[in-house]
Amino acid sequence: MRNEPDTLDAAFAALAHPARRRMLDLLVQAPGCSVKWVTSHFDFSRIAAMKHLSVLEDAGLIISEKKGRTRELYFNSVPIQQIYDRWTSQYGSFWAERLADVKERVEARQAKGERKSA
């Protein structure tokens, strides 16, 4: 019954906090941004923000690189994709209609890509 890697445990726990989910949104919109910039979007202190960021990084949801005196932050989608895989495999039977929607979205996306590359 141990079908769930500990990795995802950390990711789920990290995603439990609204501020951390908003942080991921910020990183998606502004890849390579600094700790200070992320902090500026929240009410709490820089230290609190740093703790959230390190929770996210420990969970693999963030990758960071120190450049000079600032740290560049990047979103990493892998753990979320793993969570998604877990759901579609475990709860697959509940997804029929929803997956049909996805199919259309994927094909629309691919059509755009093909037109662009043509």
Partner DNA sequence: CTCATAGGTAACTGCTAGGTTACCTGTTTA
Partner DNA sequence: TAAACAGGTAACCTAGCAGTTACCTATGAG
At 40, give phi and psi (nearest 5°). Answer: -60, -15
Secondary structure of 66-113 as H, E, C letters: EECCEEEEEECCHHHHHHHHHHHHHCHHHCHHHHHHHHHHHHHHHHHH
Q: Does 16 bind its own copies (CB under 8 A)?
A: yes
Nearer to its own copies, 69 or 91 (CB): 91
* The two three-digit tokens of residue 20, written as one number: 């951390």
Site residues for its own copies, 74-93, by CB under 8 A, read 75, 77, 80-81, 84, 87-88, 90-91, 93
Distance separating alpha carbons of residues 79 and 77, to the nearest angstrom: 6
Give residue 17's identity as a one-letter amino acid code: H
Give the binding site for its own copies (CB under 8 A): 1, 4, 9, 12-13, 15-16, 18, 21-22, 24-25, 28, 75, 77, 80-81, 84, 87-88, 90-91, 93-96, 98-100, 102-103, 105-107, 109-110
Give the binding site for DNA (CB under 7 A): 16-17, 19, 34-36, 39, 43-48, 50-52, 55, 66-71
